[in-house]
Amino acid sequence: MDRRLTQVEFGAQQVEIIEGGYYDRFRMNPNLDEVARDPAAGNIDFFRRVPKQLVDSRVGPTWAPNFYYRTSSVQLLLLAPLERLRATLPVPLEPLGALPGRGLVALTFFSYSVCDNDPYDEVSVAVVIRRPGARGSHTLELLDSIRRRNFCAHVLALPVTTEIARVRGVYGYQLPKWLADINVNIGADVAASISALGGQPDLSVHAPLPALRTVAPQSHMGTTMMIHRVDGAWHQTLVQTNTLTFAQRLLPRDVTLTRHGGPLSQLLDGLGASTILRMDVVKDAQIVLNLPTRSGALL
């Protein structure tokens, strides 16, 4: 079914959005009672504990944080040579060592089916880094991060499928976003793909669906801290995830990652990303995306 589009102003940009969609109706400040009546949103009690505030941003006053009520994702955690990762990361960021001479690259396909700025898909390529100001053992830091489900990352690429998602990411967060065709399907099996400009295939992932488990809301919380520059200064952006239905597999042998030569394929090749250390499949999760704040540890 075709959706009617309308234009809105976002900062100095004119952006097409879905007429009557969440962004058109709420402008990032949703009435949660109305959202709760949307069967596609599911149970949204988690978001009632997170107050929205009207805050200043690079594009003027905006309501934050951003709510993602129903999401799914497929993530491959890949080993890569530490020297390649160090050469890619801006100083003073440091890759987190996982094995001798090896660090971690996270390739993640996201599908946001219900969120404040309307449905879209996204692919992230990010290097797992040390916490700003961290010292001492990489192994102990990694084990602590796994135990607390709390990681820091520097995003190298973040293509998306809608113009509102691209404009918000580029002008609001200064993240490396561009438009691409992305598909994420978690059904009888797991399939995800992204195409480069012109429709040429870039990356694709295929795997059998692992056995999923469902947990109580807010019993499997995780956080990712994106570390990136905004207007030349180091900032951190907190992403909080309330995972509900998921599976995790170490050293999976039946995952096919095909590189077709597009920009993300070239990026992974340049990083030397090779062995799949872990696959995470998230069938259902809720996400809170905060606005960037200055990183005191990197000032």
**pLDDT tens digit sequence for 100-116:** 999 999 999 999 999 99
| Homologous superfamily (CATH) for 69-298 | Acetoacetate decarboxylase-like (2.40.400.10)
d(CA 149, CA 151): 7
Domain ranges of the chain: 69-298
d(CA 90, CA 154): 9
Decide: 160 and 177 in contact? Cβ < 8 Å: yes
For the cut 80, the answer to whether the pLDDT of residue 297 exceeds it is: no
- pLDDT grade, residue 299 (50/70/90)? low
- pLDDT grade, residue 65 (50/70/90)? very high
For the cut 80, the answer to whether the pLDDT of residue 197 exceeds it is: no
Query: For residue 259, which phi and psi values (nearest 5 degrees)?
Result: -105, 120
d(CA 236, CA 296): 9
For the cut 70, the answer to whether the pLDDT of residue 118 exceeds it is: yes
Average pLDDT across the chain, whole number: 95
Please give the structure tokens belonging to residue 14: 């004119």
